[in-house]
Structure 1
Amino acid sequence: MRAEFILLPVAAYLIGAIPFGFLIGKLNGVDIRKVGSGNIGATNVTRSVGKTAGKICFGCDFLKGLLPVLLTGLFLPQYPWLTLAVGLATLLGHIFPVYLKFKGGKGVATAAGVAMAMAPWPLLIGLAVWAGTFLATRYVSLASIVAAAVVPVLAVIFRLCGVGNPVSTSWITIGFLTLIALLAILRHIGNIARLLNGTENRFEKKKAQSEEK
């Protein structure tokens, strides 16, 4: 067994586990785990620290999902399963970070980065669906759930229509996108319960603006 088959997924996990939301909060004098929803993701960073901080957090979480998968596929294209392993390891690192006693975020931004590297067109349409759902409802959680569910469906449609490259339209990639969609949705079980009983917090525009620093 080649060393990179073990080292790359381990390195991807450690990169994915970097808690950018927690670090950004600390730089602003806030323990993000103790305010708002307690989540270390971009939404809670936006609410608790400010819009700029939230955008930086989303960008960092997105890139740590995108770059390991992109680089693995670029330099080791002969091992597509390794690319999938790196993507999964990165996502698991974000959700279960060793640096924070395995209590991490919900993985939406990181999963989006992984999906962008593997199937960019379904992901871009999924982001548009996210934006449309959020603007219509002001629920970040609902937008994330809907977008997560839509991406693997879009990947299947693209395959059936013959659109995309062999990697993005392979059944292995579609299966992987389905897996990360399920993980993202499972991380939102509490949000789903609150949506159903009407207690989920809306992301109000005025409130977000008042928290900007």
Structure 2
Amino acid sequence: MIIKFLKRTLSVCFQGLGTDEESLIEILCSRSNAEIMEIKKVYRELFKKELEKDVAGDTSGDFAKLLLALVEAKREQSSSVIDYQRIDEDARALYDAGVKRKGTDVKCWISIMSERSVPHLQKVFDRYKSYSPYDMQESIRKEVKGDLEKSFLTLVQCFENKQLYFASRLQDAMKSKGAKEKVLTRIMVSRCEVDLKKIRQEFKQHFGKSLHQTIAEHTKGDYQRALLSLCNGDD
């Protein structure tokens, strides 16, 4: 159910005038290799076309290159062996490709962030601080802008703490004037069978109220009851 929901969400991303970059970024930057491969498979079955072609046709430049690299699902699997030399090399490469030089070698950033395993990248970002006066998120904000900036930031936030990333997205969606139902629905449905309990914990810890209580305050009627059912408990 969840994969098909994400598939239909991706389809909506490419319909009408323009592209829903926000949804596209969230989905592709927060999913594992297995999830992306399944999304591609169901996308092909439902819409008789390849996800890669829609991404390439509706985005451009370095933003498109990053998304297409993620769609390839070539991220390395986690390993119990910690390669400290490679961690240092990748941290230095990220610094040399960005803050150290004039202009950004985006290709280098894309390669490292789309192919390395999550535990490896967590150590790379920690090591990065020994080379750069800024952490990785600050470096991204200084080096790139627009959808590319949002994509790299989403990747780093998910690498560092995926549940906190989704908790923050839910908080942002509900603190705006009128809850952003599209964002709420997408996250609640796609994460309810994955890690919503941990997202609830991060939400309460960082925002001082439970996710259940916040949903109750910002939504109404049948929609509210559906979200609270997905929430499956108060903290």
The TM-score with structure 1 as length reference comes to 0.29
Q: Which has the higher contact order (CA 8 A, sep 6+)?
A: 1
Give 1 or 2 for the bigger CA radius of gyration.
2
The TM-score with structure 2 as length reference comes to 0.27
